[in-house]
Amino acid sequence: MEQVAVETTRQTEWVEITAKVQGLVSAGAITEGLCTVYVPHTTAGVTINENADPTVVSDFLNQINKVIPFDDSYRHGEGNAAAHIKSVLTGPSVSIPIADGRLQLGRWQGIFFCEYDGPRSRRALVQITA
Amino acid sequence: MEQVAVETTRQTEWVEITAKVQGLVSAGAITEGLCTVYVPHTTAGVTINENADPTVVSDFLNQINKVIPFDDSYRHGEGNAAAHIKSVLTGPSVSIPIADGRLQLGRWQGIFFCEYDGPRSRRALVQITA
Amino acid sequence: MEQVAVETTRQTEWVEITAKVQGLVSAGAITEGLCTVYVPHTTAGVTINENADPTVVSDFLNQINKVIPFDDSYRHGEGNAAAHIKSVLTGPSVSIPIADGRLQLGRWQGIFFCEYDGPRSRRALVQITA
């Protein structure tokens, strides 16, 4: 198992980690298999979406922050209940096929660490299986 | 790694691909393991839900189209910002256990390719690991 | 492949299954790999989030029940359309890295079976791959 470190700088923010994950795949011995990216945090997630136009990410963040408001009738005492909810809706893991030693991402796809309660020092775990 | 081709015919639509995915599992040598279905698109996703009553799918689409409206104060220029958001909320990958050479789907479950910006020619990647 | 039985007692409820899943990992021969938890139901899901403060779970349930109301203009005849929608938004599978024979969960993370149409007798499938 490998790790990718992520430093986030805003309360809600997606940080692209595609190159780091592909680097771990390239450094390993498995050329056909599965790459799972896992986030060991409860107020962050991981997803895959367009990495070409940054407004795709900002539109997602604006909309999810509207659907799941920062403040509502939450009972959780730390003030970050909304971040936990966004974390669940985003999901804690994604699995991407590997073929010929490459992540089989689509042309417009990037892997994003999804911060919902930053800024913080974070990490994503990467497990490559055959 | 294998592929399943999908032709979608509407803007938002779920297309069931269970039989095609099970066919790939049956054609392979692995009888115990994991089948991961991965969508290499940024305005589509993959999920598993009821395939018996088609109103389950239409209710999902009607509700997600209400929660994430086609038009809002989005900045992404291609007019499909909502499709990217629905893609993230649905997710890009699912992993299903294989036992005795069969996908271990529940009685009412089918695997659906989830189109949110169709109609288009699409594909899903299928990786089977032991 | 292994199974975890879950008895739910309310209409919407998350039941933690971390100890049972770790027990299956500990009982197996694989010390480095991937643990996939899969829910073979169409009105339930599986996720990973905070297991320390129970208000995190109740805040999630209150908010998702607000965003996806129990009653709306649904057409599905069984009265549980909202449960199917919440099931999709939560997701049917999660995959967690295993290292040194342990699930690599974060400090605050637990694995939750997510009931959206209970009470029912349920199960989660657990597949461990190397």
Answer for the pair A6, A113: CB distance below 8 angstroms, yes or no. Answer: yes
For B31, phi and psi rounded to 5 degrees?
A: -105, -15
Q: What is the mean pLDDT of residues A24-39?
A: 97
The predicted pLDDT at position B102 comes to 98
Distance (Å) from the alpha carbon of B54 to chain A's nearest alpha carbon: 24
Our CA angle for B60, B65, B67, nearest 5°, is 95
Best of B4, B46, B84 to disrupt the A interface by mutation (most A CBs within 10 Å)? B84
* pLDDT for res B34: 98
CATH code (residue A6): 2.60.120.460
What single-letter amino acid sits at B9?
T
C48 in B contact zone (CB under 8 Å): no
Domain count, chain A: 1
Q: For residue B109, report the phi and psi dihedrals to the nearest 5 degrees.
A: -90, 140
**Sign of the alpha-carbon dihedral angle for A115, B93, A97, A53:** negative
Spatial CA neighbour of C108 closest among B115, A41, A32, B50: A41
pLDDT digits (tens, 9 = 90+) for C13-66: 999 999 999 999 999 999 999 999 999 999 999 999 999 999 999 999 999 999
Note down the domain range covering B25: 2-129
Q: How confident is the model at residue A17 (pLDDT cuts 50, 70, 90)?
A: very high
Band of residue C83 on the pLDDT scale cut at 50, 70, 90: very high
B67 touches chain A (CB under 8 A): yes
What is the pTM assigned to this prediction? 0.98
Q: CB distance from B14 to chain C under 8 Å?
A: no
Q: What residues of chain B score a pLDDT lower than 50?
A: none
pLDDT in tens, B101-114: 999 999 999 999 99
Give the nearest chain A residue to C61 (CA atoms): A85
Candidates B18, B51, B59: best to mutate against C (most CBs of C within 10 A) is: B59
Mean pLDDT over the full length of chain B: 97
Q: Distance (Å) from the C-alpha of residue B73 to the closest C-alpha of chain C? A: 19
